[in-house]
Amino acid sequence: MSTRKRTEIETALSQKGFQLQENKDHRYYFFRYNGRLITRTKVSHGTKYKDLSDDLISQMAKQCRLSKNDFLKFVDCSVSQQQYEIKLQQQNLLELE
């Protein structure tokens, strides 16, 4: 079972090109490439000081189009934004220049 702090996940998302948009209940992170929305994920405001559960991590991984294992590597910074973009390209979600 894997858990990560919300702040660790949000920092990794921001460092890898995701843009934050907040609303009343959630913090949404959008990943755009050449102005086109590729994927998004969300984090609840209520988890500010808590570890995110294994289930939530799995859901976020799916939203980011990654396996849970790859998402954890993404959060732990062993997957760069460039490597993430390559993974998205392999899924035919974007075309790299």
Would you say residue 41 lies in a domain? yes
pTM of the model: 0.84
pLDDT at 48: 60
State the total domains in the chain: 1
Would you say residue 76 lies in a domain? yes
CA 47 from centre of chain: 16
Q: Residue 80 pLDDT more than 70? A: yes
Instruction: Quote the CA–CA distance of 30 and 64 in Å, as a whole number.
Output: 9
Q: Is 24 or 64 the better-scoring residue by pLDDT?
A: 64
Under 8 Å between Cβ of 29 and 22: no
Which residues, in sequence order, are CB contacts of 42 under 8 Å at separation 6+? 26, 27, 28, 29, 63
Would you say residue 9 lies in a domain? yes
Would you say residue 75 lies in a domain? yes
Would you say residue 80 lies in a domain? yes
Would you say residue 61 lies in a domain? yes
Q: Which domain holds residue 74?
A: 4-90
Would you say residue 95 lies in a domain? no
Would you say residue 97 lies in a domain? no
Q: Give the rounded percent of residues in the chain with a pLDDT score beyond 90.
A: 40
